[in-house]
Amino acid sequence: MSSRKVGTQRAFDAAAADFTALGRHLWDPIGAATVAAAGIGEGSRVLDACCGTGASAIPAARAVGTGGVVDAIDLSGPMIGELRRISADLPQLRAHEADATAWDTDGYDAVLSALGIFFFPDMTAGTERLISRVRPGGRAVFTIWRGGAMVTAGRHVGRAMAEVTASEPPPEREPGLIDRINQVGTYADWLSGRDLSDVDVVVNELRLTMTPEVAWLVVIGSGFRGIVDDLEPGVLEQVRERYLDSLRAEGVTELDATTLVGSGTVR
């Protein structure tokens, strides 16, 4: 993302506490898989870009120990505030409200970004900037959604919003680079084009059981929050009820939240 307050970032700003609540169901296992692919050890210096509330930054900080450091950066001040609160016992984790595409410090042993690079105004340039922050021989790990992941929740909440407010459904996002590389082969090819060697893409299968609590957290604790964030409380409750009814009517009991964890060695 740019330093400009775009709609998605405003949604994340508002969602910080709910983002944390959704973490144990969704963000934490994705963050853990991202850190595992980096192979970092004690004493390592790590950059975690688009860190949110720390799903990958916190396990990375535990992996590097007190002799290492994790610089965790995100544009969202509320997200960074929440991360500082929940990581107070990890002095090696330094949380910064900052633009990942303008971060100057380099020489890291690894750079991580879990579900962040597709928010950059220029996904390729932003990713290459992050790779340039890593020393030769270090690791770069970027996790993205696999094609089709999370779309069911967005479709149902958009439909519920339109029905309750008698409006048109939210417009579909314009297809971009991420839509062309969200499968194993295309993602591996794209990462190899970023001058990484030993590129590997692992499919991290994840399916969420859509209890009413989890199903609603998926909306208010993620970027989907931007769809409902300006609603009055009474209207928001109607949207919640209609959304859950819609999921039940179509027999949706699970949500595909599968990611692709792509990694490579910096030349």
Task: Tell me the residue length of the chain.
Answer: 267
DSSP per-residue letters across 88-141: TT-TTEEEEE--GGG-----EEEEEEES-GGGSSSHHHHHHHHHTTEEEEEEEE
> What pLDDT tens digit does each residue of the chain (267 aa) get?
333 345 566 666 666 789 889 999 999 999 999 999 999 999 999 999 999 999 999 999 999 999 999 999 999 999 999 999 999 999 999 999 999 999 999 999 999 999 999 999 999 999 999 999 999 999 999 999 999 999 999 999 999 999 999 988 888 888 999 999 999 999 999 999 998 999 999 999 999 999 999 999 999 999 899 889 889 999 999 999 999 999 999 999 999 999 999 999 999
209: containing domain? 3-266
- Is the pTM here over 0.85, yes or no? yes
Structure token pair of residue 160: 């519920």
Distances (CA, A) of 24 to 106, 141, 246: 31, 21, 25
pLDDT of residue 8: 62
User: Are the C-beta atoms of 43 and 68 separated by less than 8 Å?
Assistant: yes
Output the domain CATH number for residue 137.
Answer: 3.40.50.150
Tell me the pLDDT tens digit for each residue of 200-234: 999 999 999 999 999 999 999 998 998 898 899 99
Tell me the pLDDT tens digit for each residue of 172-191: 888 999 999 999 999 999 99
> How many domains does the structure of the chain reveal?
1
